[in-house]
């Protein structure tokens, strides 16, 4: 039964009057009233199972305690979440749940974010009466490429089973055996191997399901968290970036990963509570194969040089072509991984300079599914289109091959994945100066004469526009790796050398200028975008 917002019921919770839509559960009403009750099996994105029994409340006129996750709010209902009877009932439930639970807290990855620990401190604190030997179950069993199962820690909330049945619809998990020998597991001959397997770790309230990638890498109390947007595809799933606070401020990334994991962040209009594994584990690109220093090719070999020297070389090349009236021999291949702010800065810079051959390029497409994952693996192609940028690098590569370009500036993208290494190398060979600006090294970057390292998306503020036309905020979680800079800052520095009007001094000011100049972004601001996003003017 879904809540009906057109009809309201009035009830009292812990002495507070509350009005909720008809069909709302008592648990949801308690949350709205600011009197939350504990729960394990309940999840707003899954069907109601009502099997953990920890969400007990006392309802006036009802002799027994009721589970609030399953009970619907009714007109005139009087609910107590903190009565002695309710608290005693929850304490008894916890004792049953912990009867066979192992004392694994010191070695459990869930320590620090475990609901058993939290609720024991809130509602437990009992003297155990159970003296029997605990039931032994399988421990540390890989059930798929990304998930580890410890059946002894499982409290049989069935969240993971319902997720694979109802959300991913892959049905790998079930509950087997009976009584205190019941345990979660995969069906015979099956692995938990789908695009959304990592979500069962997110929704497991205890340490039964852990992430094999994150396992034993960092205690959660050393993690910081920053809201952001996944850049794995054009869906733009809302995420939290969890970083190692001890590594966050390292000027270079050697010696340890800074980004430890990505977790989905709720957004009803984009990804709800979920994210795919392709985006989840794509964080490794943030700290691997990074370009950390500016480089310049001299006598056939590329060497690190100061930023000033590299920018001088780029500025001198563009100035030479401007004076010779040969800017039609400059090509620019932007990337759909750049933020709206970076793309706007590029558009404004090259327009002021007089360069007209400016396009953007998407990465190679991938397989899509019917839940979240989209074939377009770029986070901001819609933003590039909204800014009026044309798409496609192939024509510029053809012009380069035909010796019609003296300078080609490539951003982020590995063109060899799209067009083949031999073809790209052949096309770039006649070009007088190839400039690469991006965060990661790859075969295309290796062909460049000048490399300028730029920030990854987790290192800068800005916005992406997803495939639906929703503009969403990025927040810098960690400092830029090595000497990398945001792309808009690189344009600003080049503009100073070429006497082009200066760009605004930071990302918020740049977005303000963008919203004033670009009709598709009219009326938007960082405040309007917030943490849940806002639509482009022409998105509907």
d(CA 460, CA 511): 13
* Greater pLDDT, 139 or 3: 139
Mean pLDDT lowest among 59-63, 103-107, 326-330, 362-366: 103-107
Q: Where do we find the tokens 């695009």? A: 195
d(CA 32, CA 19): 9
Write the pLDDT tens digit of every residue in 331-387: 999 999 999 999 999 999 999 999 999 999 999 999 999 999 999 999 999 999 999
Residue-level pLDDT at 342: 97
Average pLDDT over residues 216-232: 94
Structure tokens at 155: 């409290």
d(CA 25, CA 439): 48
d(CA 143, CA 344): 46
Contacts of 92 (CB under 8 A, 6+ apart): none
Mean pLDDT lowest among 256-260, 498-502, 522-526, 533-537: 256-260
Q: Could you report how far apart the first and last alpha carbons of the chain are, in Å?
A: 30
Residue-level pLDDT at 124: 73
The helices-and-strands tally (H runs, E runs) of the chain is 16, 24
Average pLDDT over residues 402-414: 97
Question: Above 80 in pLDDT, residue 1?
Answer: no
- Domain boundaries, given as residue ranges, for the chain: 4-97, 105-211, 295-363+377-455+483-506
Write the pLDDT tens digit of every residue in 284-316: 988 889 999 999 999 889 999 999 999 999 999
Average pLDDT over residues 433-448: 97
d(CA 384, CA 466): 11
Contacts of 308 (CB under 8 A, 6+ apart): none
Mean pLDDT lowest among 97-106, 125-134, 220-229, 249-258: 249-258
Residue-level pLDDT at 99: 86
Q: Please name the helix (run of DSSP H) or strand (run of DSSP E) that holds residue 463, with its range, or none.
A: strand 462-465
Q: Is 507 helix (H, G, I), strand (E, B) or coil?
A: helix
pTM for the full predicted model:
0.92
Structure tokens at 6: 């057109």
Question: Above 70 in pLDDT, residue 2?
Answer: no
Q: Is 175 helix (H, G, I), strand (E, B) or coil?
A: strand
Which CATH number does the domain 105-211 belong to among 3.40.50.620, 2.60.40.10, 2.40.340.10, 3.30.70.20?
A: 3.30.70.20
Which CATH number does the domain 4-97 belong to among 3.50.50.60, 3.20.20.70, 3.10.20.740, 3.90.740.10?
A: 3.10.20.740
Q: In this structure, how many other beta carbons lie within 10 angstroms of the beta carbon of residue 339?
A: 29
pLDDT band for position 248 (cuts 50, 70, 90): low
Question: Above 60 in pLDDT, residue 251?
Answer: no
The residues that bridge with 382 in the sheet, in sequence order, are none
Please provide residue 110's backbone torsions phi and psi, each rounded to the nearest 5 degrees: -80, -10
Residue-level pLDDT at 390: 96
Q: Which one, of 177, 176, 159, lies nearest residue 168 by Cα?
A: 159
pLDDT band for position 504 (cuts 50, 70, 90): confident
Question: Above 90 in pLDDT, residue 516?
Answer: yes
Q: Where do we find the tokens 């036309």? A: 469
Question: Above 90 in pLDDT, residue 130?
Answer: no
Q: In this structure, how many other beta carbons lie within 10 angstroms of the beta carbon of residue 288?
A: 11
Contacts of 418 (CB under 8 A, 6+ apart): 361, 363, 364, 393
d(CA 342, CA 347): 9
Average pLDDT over residues 7-29: 95
Residue-level pLDDT at 369: 95
Average pLDDT over residues 129-157: 91
Residue-level pLDDT at 428: 96
* Greater pLDDT, 238 or 288: 238
Average pLDDT over residues 30-38: 94
Residue-level pLDDT at 180: 87
Residue-level pLDDT at 3: 66
Question: Above 60 in pLDDT, residue 470?
Answer: yes
d(CA 501, CA 489): 13
Write the pLDDT tens digit of every residue in 178-208: 988 999 999 999 999 999 999 999 999 999 9
Enter the CATH code of domain 295-363+377-455+483-506: 3.40.50.740
Write the pLDDT tens digit of every residue in 202-217: 999 999 999 999 999 9
Percent of the chain with pLDDT over 90: 86
d(CA 279, CA 78): 45
Percent of the chain with pLDDT over 70: 97
Cβ proximity of 200 and 160 under 8 Å: yes
Residue-level pLDDT at 233: 97
Q: Is 177 helix (H, G, I), strand (E, B) or coil?
A: coil
Q: Which one, of 477, 471, 429, lies nearest residue 455 by Cα?
A: 477
């Amino acid at each position: 039964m879904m809540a009906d917002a057109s009809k309201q019921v009035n009830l009292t919770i812990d002495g507070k009057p509350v009005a909720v839509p008809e069909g709302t559960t008592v648990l949801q009403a308690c949350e709205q009233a600011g009197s939350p009750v504990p729960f394990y099996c309940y999840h707003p994105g899954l069907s109601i199972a009502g099997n953990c029994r920890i969400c007990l409340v006392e309802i006036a006129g009802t002799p027994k305690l009721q589970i609030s996750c399953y009970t619907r709010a009714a007109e005139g209902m009087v609910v107590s979440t903190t009565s002695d009877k309710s608290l005693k009932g929850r304490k008894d439930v916890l004792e049953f749940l912990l009867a066979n639970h192992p004392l694994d807290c010191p070695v459990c990855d869930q320590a620090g974010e475990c609901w058993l620990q939290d609720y024991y401190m809130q509602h437990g604190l009992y003297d155990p009466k159970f003296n029997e030997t605990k039931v032994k179950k399988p421990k540390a069993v890989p059930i798929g490429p990304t998930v580890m199962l410890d059946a002894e820690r499982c409290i049989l909330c069935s969240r993971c089973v319902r997720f694979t049945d109802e959300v991913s619809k892959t049905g790998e998990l079930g509950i087997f055996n009976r009584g205190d020998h019941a345990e979660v597991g995969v069906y015979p001959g099956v692995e938990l191997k789908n695009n959304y397997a990592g979500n069962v770790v997110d929704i497991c309230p205890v340490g039964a399901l852990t992430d094999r990638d994150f396992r034993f890498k960092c205690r959660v109390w050393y993690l910081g968290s920053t809201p952001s947007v996944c850049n794995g595809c054009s869906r733009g799933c809302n995420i939290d970036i969890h970083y190692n606070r001890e590594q966050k401020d390292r000027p270079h990334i050697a010696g340890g990963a800074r980004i430890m994991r990505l977790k989905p962040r709720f957004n009803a209009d984009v990804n709800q509570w979920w994210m795919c594994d392709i985006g989840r584990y794509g964080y490794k690109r943030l700290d691997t194969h990074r370009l950390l220093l500016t480089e310049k090719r001299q006598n056939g070999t590329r060497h690190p040089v100061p930023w000033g020297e590299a920018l001088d070389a780029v500025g001198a090349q563009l100035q030479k072509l401007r004076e010779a009236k040969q800017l039609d021999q400059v090509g620019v291949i932007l990337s759909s991984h750049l933020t709206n702010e970076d793309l706007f800065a590029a558009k404004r810079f090259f327009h002021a300079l007089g360069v007209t051959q400016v396009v953007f390029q998407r990465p190679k497409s991938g397989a899509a599914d019917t839940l979240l994952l989209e074939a377009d693996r770029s986070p901001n192609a819609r933003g590039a289109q909204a800014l009026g940028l044309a798409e496609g690098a192939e024509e510029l590569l053809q012009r380069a091959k035909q010796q019609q370009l003296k300078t080609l500036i490539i951003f982020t993208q590995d063109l060899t994945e799209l067009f083949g290494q031999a073809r790209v190398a052949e096309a770039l060979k006649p070009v007088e100066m190839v400039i690469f600006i991006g965060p990661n090294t790859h075969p295309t970057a290796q062909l460049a004469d000048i490399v300028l390292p730029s920030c990854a998306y987790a290192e800068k503020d800005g916005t992406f526009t997803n495939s639906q036309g929703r503009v969403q905020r990025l927040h810098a979680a960690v400092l830029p790796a090595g000497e990398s800079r945001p792309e808009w800052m690189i344009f600003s520095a080049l503009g100073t050398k070429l006497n082009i009007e200066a760009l605004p001094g930071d990302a918020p000011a740049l977005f303000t200028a963008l919203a004033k100049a670009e009709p598709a972004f009219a009326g938007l601001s960082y405040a309007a975008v917030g943490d849940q996003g806002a639509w482009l003017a022409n998105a509907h």
